[in-house]
């Protein structure tokens, strides 16, 4: 009985965001950032409960429509929603403060962990065991992500075929931008009834890439897929400009969640740049998965290893700049634009192409992360857990549990 009165009042309250002071607004979203465990589903549910169900900043219908916009656009949806709500309350400055508050706890923690990783190292047997478990769990999470994203994005046989063609093209060494351009264009052609043209486009794409890969004898082609793995990496090898551009590219291409940024950052940082080893890259994803932050915060680790503290700042800026910009500059225009069927079909095709890229990258990470019997055991247990455990904090719990199991197995 005591909870029914507030609920009734909240339900009867007209939908309107409060005019909060900038400091209070920043602290509110800083609190959200400190509680941002459990991935985007849990983060979005937290925002919905307080700002929509309890305080009625917007109607539930408007929230759903806004969420649909950010699910189509690249970038972490929960972060973009924070920027959106901050802008509703106090304009563009409010949006910036809300977005900054939400991402700040994860950034500070990842920055500190990156420093520890490089300064102290993980050569001790205990740390080696923990990170062996972390890496195995991350591979399981990525494979689950390919399945989950694919089941939502590949909703007809044409999109499934486009994803398969993108997988093959990326395996042969196609530039990612060409893969995604062909994927988007092919699906637009399918939806306009030009199905034979779409088939011809994909055949020409795969044929051309196959000829190019054969002529290069696996050199350039293999490098662009990440199938050539860097064996040595040292902090500071990358220029700040290249780190920033890598972050921008990842931030502009994260369709369907942070896991879709993995192939782009892995290509830049491991396969082409040699800034990190594949093993270090997996460690960064694992650390990002146990923090209260969008998973894309692992990019801060990539930037730190690549270019030190300034590299971490440059990478984080690049990754999050599109997420801020889409909302602060063009939310209204973007909302109108994606209602256009051709744009929507193009984005559907691009998303299918990204699924193919993630699938290719998952093979590379599987080969690197699962290299021993203990790692294989942890991987299989983690894979079972990610399919059976549906709690909000499942990802963080699985990674931490795998790390603990890795420490135990390494001590035997």
Give the three-class secondary structure for 380: helix
Work out how many domains the chain is built from and give that number. Answer: 2
Nearest to 26, CA basis, from 106, 107, 103, 101: 101
Same domain as 382, residue 235: yes
Identify the pLDDT of residue 279: 87
pTM of the model as a whole: 0.73
Q: What is the rounded CA–CA span in Å between residue 362 and residue 365? A: 5
Q: What is the rounded CA–CA span in Å between residue 406 and residue 404? A: 5
Same domain as 303, residue 156: yes
Same domain as 55, residue 194: no
Average pLDDT of adjacent 10-residue blocks, the chain of 412 residues:
44 71 95 80 82 88 76 81 92 94 94 91 78 84 79 85 90 82 91 90 89 62 44 61 93 73 88 89 85 87 95 95 87 67 79 83 79 89 86 74 87 77
Q: Which residue has the tokens 């991935």?
A: 39
Identify the pLDDT of residue 243: 95
Q: Where are the alpha helices (DSSP H) in 121-239?
A: 125-153, 157-172, 176-191, 195-215, 220-225
Task: List the structure tokens of 314.
Answer: 């440059």
Nearest to 84, CA basis, from 335, 370, 374: 335
Q: What is the rounded CA–CA span in Å between residue 371 and residue 58? A: 50
Question: What DSSP element (H or E) covers 280?
Answer: helix 278-289
Q: What is the rounded CA–CA span in Å between residue 133 and residue 141? A: 12
Distances (CA, A) of 150 to 144, 145, 227, 352: 10, 8, 22, 7
Q: Are 259 and 39 in contact (CB under 8 A)?
A: no
Same domain as 346, residue 249: yes
Q: What is the rounded CA–CA span in Å between residue 354 and residue 180? A: 7
Identify the pLDDT of residue 392: 60
- State which residues form the domain around 325: 113-121+129-411
Same domain as 196, residue 236: yes
Identify the pLDDT of residue 412: 76
Identify the pLDDT of residue 21: 92
Same domain as 137, residue 93: no
Q: Which residue has the tokens 């994909």?
A: 202
Same domain as 215, residue 82: no
Identify the pLDDT of residue 99: 95
Same domain as 198, residue 79: no
Identify the pLDDT of residue 244: 95
Q: Which residue has the tokens 């993630």?
A: 358
Q: Residues with Cβ < 8 Å from 101, sequence gap 6 or more?
A: 25, 26, 27, 28, 29, 30, 31, 32, 33, 82
Task: List the structure tokens of 368.
Answer: 């690197």
Query: What is the CB-side half-sphere exposure of residue 25 using CA atoms within 13 A?
Result: 25
Task: List the structure tokens of 301.
Answer: 């680790």
Same domain as 184, residue 324: yes
Burial 271-291 (b: 16+ CB within 10 A, else e): bbbbbbbbbbbbbbbbbbbbb
Q: Which residue has the tokens 């054969």?
A: 214
Same domain as 397, residue 294: yes
The whole-angstrom distance between residue 125's C-alpha and the CA centroid of its chain comes to: 30
Q: Are 136 and 129 in contact (CB under 8 A)?
A: no
The CA angle 153-358-184, to the nearest 5 degrees, is 50
Identify the pLDDT of residue 257: 63
Same domain as 201, residue 347: yes
Axis-axis angle for helices 157-172, 176-191 (nearest 10): 160
Q: What is the rounded CA–CA span in Å between residue 98 and residue 85? A: 8
For residue 124, which phi and psi values (nearest 5 degrees)? -60, 145
Q: What is the rounded CA–CA span in Å between residue 227 and residue 169? A: 13
Nearest to 354, CA basis, from 264, 270, 260: 260
Q: Where are the alpha helices (DSSP H) in 50-124?
A: 60-72, 77-119
Same domain as 99, residue 117: no
Q: Are 269 and 276 in contact (CB under 8 A)?
A: yes
């Amino acid at each position: 009985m005591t909870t029914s009165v507030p609920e009734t009042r909240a339900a009867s309250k007209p939908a309107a965001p409060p005019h909060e002071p900038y400091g209070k607004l920043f602290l509110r979203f800083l609190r959200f950032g400190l509680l941002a465990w459990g991935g985007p589903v849990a983060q979005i549910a937290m925002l919905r409960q307080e700002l929509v169900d309890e305080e009625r900043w917007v109607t539930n219908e408007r929230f759903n429509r806004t969420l649909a916009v950010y699910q189509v656009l690249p970038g972490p949806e929960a972060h973009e929603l924070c920027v959106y709500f901050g802008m509703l309350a106090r304009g563009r400055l409010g949006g910036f403060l809300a977005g900054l508050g939400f991402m700040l706890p994860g950034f500070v923690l990842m920055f500190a962990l990156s420093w520890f990783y490089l300064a102290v190292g993980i050569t001790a047997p205990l740390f080696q065991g923990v990170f062996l478990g972390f890496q195995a769990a991350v591979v399981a999470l990525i494979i689950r992500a390919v399945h989950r994203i694919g089941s939502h994005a590949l909703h007809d046989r044409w999109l499934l075929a486009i994803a398969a063609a993108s997988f093959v093209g990326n395996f042969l060494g196609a530039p990612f931008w060409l893969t995604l351009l062909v994927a988007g264009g092919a699906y637009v052609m399918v939806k306009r009834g030009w199905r034979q043209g779409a088939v011809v486009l994909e055949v020409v794409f795969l044929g051309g890439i196959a000829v190019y890969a054969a002529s290069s004898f696996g050199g350039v082609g293999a490098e662009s897929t990440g199938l050539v793995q860097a064996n040595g990496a040292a902090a500071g090898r990358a220029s700040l400009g290249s780190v920033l551009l890598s972050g921008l590219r990842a931030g502009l291409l994260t369709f369907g969640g942070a896991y879709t940024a993995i192939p782009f950052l892995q290509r830049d940082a491991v396969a082409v740049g040699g800034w990190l080893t594949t093993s270090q890259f997996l460690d960064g994803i694992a650390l990002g998965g146990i923090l209260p932050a969008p998973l894309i915060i692992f990019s801060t680790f990539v930037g730190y290893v690549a270019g030190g503290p300034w590299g971490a700042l440059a990478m984080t800026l690049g990754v999050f700049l599109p997420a801020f910009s889409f909302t602060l500059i063009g939310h209204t225009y973007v909302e109108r634009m994606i209602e256009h069927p051709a744009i929507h079909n193009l984005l559907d095709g691009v998303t299918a192409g990204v699924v193919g890229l993630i699938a290719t990258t998952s093979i590379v990470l599987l080969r690197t992360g699962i290299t021993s019997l203990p790692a294989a055991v942890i991987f299989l247990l983690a894979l079972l857990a990610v399919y059976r455990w549906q709690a909000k904090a499942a990802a963080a719990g699985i990674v931490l549990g795998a790390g603990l199991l890795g420490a135990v197995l390494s001590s035997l």
